[in-house]
Amino acid sequence: MGTILHGRYSEQSASHQIVEPEVVVDGLLQNIFRVKNVLDTVILVVDSATALAIVPVFALSLRLRQREIDTIFLLACRRATVARLLGAEIFIIVLISSALYAVMLWAVDYYGADVVRGLFIG
């Protein structure tokens, strides 16, 4: 019976089409997972590049602020004090970055489905 129905609806001029749901859904899911894998790889590369860029930024910051650090030593502060000041500075940067990340994550979670529907589904 299925072969007869396929024969009736396989003509090019037919306005209707018979599809096998499992085949169509499997094909769509394969495409979705391929796109997901590509996006995961892109995100991993961007994260790695960002992490690698942070190290020279802090190193250059320390080099540019060497006079300030020398002044702190002239004020009779120990190396531990300088390390604590720089550590606190890095902690504040990480804290503010984490807060911004949390806000952006919430926005994507809250508005993401609507944006995807508006952009891609139409």
- Residues 75-90: pLDDT tens digits? 988 989 989 998 999 8
- Residues 28-45: pLDDT tens digits? 889 888 989 999 999 999
pLDDT at 117 > cutoff 90:
no
Single out the residue of 93, 81, 97, 86 nearest to residue 62, CA to CA. Answer: 86
Q: What is the DSSP string of 4-35?
A: HHHHHH-STT-S-----HHHHHHHHHHHHHHH
**pLDDT for 95:** 96
- Residues 8-20: pLDDT tens digits? 666 666 666 666 7
DSSP 15: S
**pLDDT for 49:** 95
Token digits for 50?
Answer: 């960002």
Q: CA angle 18-22-26, nearest 5°?
A: 120
**pLDDT for 120:** 76
Single out the residue of 6, 40, 1, 7 nearest to residue 23, CA to CA. Answer: 6
**pLDDT for 8:** 64
Radius of gyration of the chain (CA): 29
**pLDDT for 25:** 82
**pLDDT for 11:** 64
Q: What would the mean pLDDT of 64-79 be, rounded to a whole number?
A: 90
- Supply φ then ψ for residue 65, to 5 degrees: -100, 15
